[in-house]
Amino acid sequence: MINRDREQKRKTAPYSGDIVNFRRAPLLLLLAGGLAAAASAWAQYPEKPIRLIVAWPAGGPTDTIARIMAQKLGDSFGQQVFVENKPGAAGMIGSAESARSPADGYTMSMAVVQDVTRPSFMPKVSFDIAKDLEPVIKVYDLPFIITVNPQVFQVSSLKDIIEFAKANPGKLQYASPSNGSVGHLSFELIKQLARFEAGHVPYKGSAPAINDLLGGQIPMMYGDMVSALPHIKSGRLKAIVVSTATRVPVLPDVPTVSESGFDGFLGVAWGGLVVPAGTPAATKDRLYREAAKALSSDDVRQRIRALGVEPAPVGSPEDFGAFMRSEMVKWSKLIKDSAIQSQ
């Protein structure tokens, strides 16, 4: 009897399953529409120019490399990618501008080592790079170099510099691109190891520091190779040491800091693309794919190497994020252990 009732119910409701599906149809259509809209947005992105913020003055290494990438990305996207310089406060102004920008894929910035050293100098920074910006791709590694104006400071080696500083307490000053730059931290570490004094003069980027070095206002600079290389080749500046693991091909006769009595010494800057946190995953993925394609191209890598800079291996956003976290740990420990202070 029970079986007969069940059979009767099935016969009187032949379309019950279809009714359930019909009731779900609006939800399924909505989901399908959302996926289609997302796919369409991904395909159409970008629909307007993209801003690439550089937190340093025009003419410096980060600016130069950003413009190389911007040109290649613009060609690939079919939309202009323009560089906007926002220098000041050791790069904090530009980085903060990027962190505050809409997370819509139309603003990105070039993060550099100062972005991970800054919290150790400026605990009241208005943004947190680990939370407010998301990595896209690491772009380059930048050798740092000690140069002098030979008309003002007649030395030939790092040993000469140290001997001068010890024989003339309080008289030696050196420039760096900014507080917390690799040049600043590296020379402070050399001072700690060799036990001598030298005053640090931080600038708002490499370009103004180089100008004062060329003009004789400052005798020595620990800065990036991009800014210094043309003036080294012209003879207006003299290269003393590079802080890479091995000698650099463009200056094969210039020794490393490690060769000069500081075994294993390494001080290299870097840069990479980041976007405001919350940028849609599909948009960020499109940015990454196009940036990776640009960085993989022979012409971009050759143009970067011609500056005396090493293009980074093409990695993932996760690779770049892990690298930045490791850099934050390394440099903050050095700053704390060496009691280096912001000036």
Judge if 102 and 126 occupy the same domain.
yes
Count of domains forming the chain: 2
Judge if 224 and 329 occupy the same domain.
no
Which of these three, 260, 281, 302, is where a domain ends?
260
> Helix (H, G, I), strand (E, B), or coil: what is residue 320?
helix
**CATH code of residue 246:** 3.40.190.10
Q: Which candidate, 30, 28, 45, places its Cα nearest to that of 279?
A: 45
- Cα dihedral sign for 186, 188, 191, 193? negative
Judge if 225 and 201 occupy the same domain.
yes
Say which residues have a Cβ less than 8 Å from residue 167's Cβ, sequence separation at least 6.
none
Note the pLDDT of residue 316. Answer: 97
| In-domain check, residue 42 | no
pTM of the model: 0.74
Judge if 164 and 73 occupy the same domain.
no
| In-domain check, residue 29 | no
In angstroms, the Cα distances linking 214 to 176, 186, 211, 224, 234 are 14, 22, 5, 15, 12
| In-domain check, residue 22 | no
pLDDT digits (tens, 9 = 90+) for 31-50: 555 544 445 555 689 999 99
Note the pLDDT of residue 307. Answer: 84
Q: Which domain does 136 fall in, by range?
A: 50-141+268-338
| In-domain check, residue 218 | yes
Judge if 290 and 236 occupy the same domain.
no
Q: Which helix (H) or strand (E) holds 172?
A: none
Judge if 55 and 136 occupy the same domain.
yes
Judge if 254 and 166 occupy the same domain.
yes
In the block, which residue shows the tokens 């870097």? 270
Which of these three, 260, 283, 302, is where a domain ends?
260
Q: Which residues in the chain show pLDDT less than 70?
A: 1-43, 123, 339-343
> Helix (H, G, I), strand (E, B), or coil: what is residue 75?
helix
| In-domain check, residue 5 | no
**CATH code of residue 114:** 3.40.190.150
Judge if 117 and 68 occupy the same domain.
yes
Judge if 152 and 250 occupy the same domain.
yes
Instruction: Pinpoint the alpha helices (H) of 198-280.
Output: 206-215, 225-234
Tokens for 118, please give them.
Answer: 């800054």
Which of these three, 234, 260, 286, is where a domain ends?
260
Judge if 246 and 284 occupy the same domain.
no
Note the pLDDT of residue 16. Answer: 44
Q: How far is the C-alpha of 115 from the C-alpha of 130, rounded, in Å? A: 10
